[in-house]
A and B are shown apart, each in its own frame.
Chain A
Amino acid sequence: MKSEEIYNAWKERKSQIDIRENFADELMNQIYQYEREKRKPLFDGPRLIELISAHRFVKAGVVTAGAVTGFVRIMFVVYAFLAC
């Protein structure tokens, strides 16, 4: 076999490709799923709860924010009471 023939045969082999039949279907499903996710409102109730419970730090942040807000509110009440 001549070098050129070998090279051309190799090149032809490298140019062949079989991809799975449902390649486009799988991809389109992924895209439709992405679009559905995108259209969901960002902060609907169940999604917000899901988001908070899924991350430890978010959970800790929400509890801390609640505690700080409560404390500030109590301080306002105390201040208002003392001012009278």
Chain B
Amino acid sequence: MTQETQVIHQVLQGDIESFRLIVERYERPIARMIRNIINNRESCEDIAQDVFFTAYRKLASFDPARSNFSTWLFTIARNKSINALRKKRPLSMSELPQNSDIHNPSDELAEREFFDKLDAGLEALTSAQKRAFVLAEFEELSYEDIAQIEGVRTGTIKSRINRAKKNLAKALKEIRYEK
């Protein structure tokens, strides 16, 4: 029995406080995944809370023989993100996340422009491509886990990620030609 399975078992036995360990372990990856999919910093934490609350209510239905816990949790987050995207208003460029670590103003401007292009490239991907890309690149999940989350074959995930990378590479090339 893994430590995580043990915690789940404790929660199911009525030790509610143990669920905090799960929340603290996954709050960042889940919130980050949602933010990168829906591209909205404000609502990603509320959706993440909804993900954990749903996970708590449905914890008894989690079957460790079918998937690992993180895959199960990311599947809930994936479904909530899709629902949120359906309701989402278009995002303006001014709402895109900013980097504050750069000190040289010209570098900052150039890098900001690159990032904006990449953000726009990410936004231009199909929803399925974006989810696969975010899970693979930012959450560093295996293709097998992503396939399980998305409910498709591993080959489909590979092709979605390849297409996503090609589109982002194209966005990067466009910047270089414009310069």
A25-33, A44-52, A55-63, A66-74: which lies at the B interface? Answer: A25-33
What total of chain B residues lie within 8 Å of the partner, measured CB to CB? 33
Contact A1 B24 (CB under 8 A): no
Per the bound structure, the CA–CA distance linking A11 and B138 in Å amounts to 7
Contact B115 A19 (CB under 8 A): no
Contact B52 A13 (CB under 8 A): no
Given contacts A3-B176, A23-B27, A27-B23, contact A17 B49 (CB under 8 A): no
- Give every chain A residue within 8 A of B23 (Cβ-Cβ): 23-24, 27-28
Per DSSP, chain A at the interface is: helix
Q: Which residue of B lies closest to A15 (CB)?
A: B138
Contact A19 B45 (CB under 8 A): yes
Interchain Cβ contacts within 8 Å, total number: 73
Q: Is B155 part of the binding interface, using a Cβ–Cβ cutoff of 8 Å?
A: no
Cβ 8 A contact of B32, one of A17, A20, A27: A17
Chain B positions 97 through 117: 1 when the CB is less than 8 Å from some CB of chain A, otherwise 0: 101000000000011001100
Contact B28 A31 (CB under 8 A): no
- Give every chain B residue within 8 A of A13 (Cβ-Cβ): 97, 99, 115
Q: Is B16 part of the binding interface, using a Cβ–Cβ cutoff of 8 Å?
A: yes
Which A residues fall within an 8 A CB radius of B?
1, 3, 6-7, 9-11, 13-15, 17, 19-20, 23-24, 26-28, 30-32, 34-35
A-B contact pairs, 14 of them (CB 8 A): A3-B169, A3-B173, A6-B114, A9-B99, A9-B115, A14-B32, A15-B32, A17-B31, A19-B28, A23-B23, A27-B53, A30-B53, A31-B16, A35-B16
Which B residues fall within an 8 A CB radius of A?
16-17, 19-20, 23-24, 27-28, 31-32, 35-36, 45, 48-49, 52-53, 56-57, 97, 99, 110-111, 114-115, 118, 137-138, 168-169, 172-173, 176
Cβ-closest 9 pairs across A and B: A17-B32, A24-B23, A6-B114, A10-B118, A3-B172, A19-B31, A27-B49, A13-B99, A10-B115
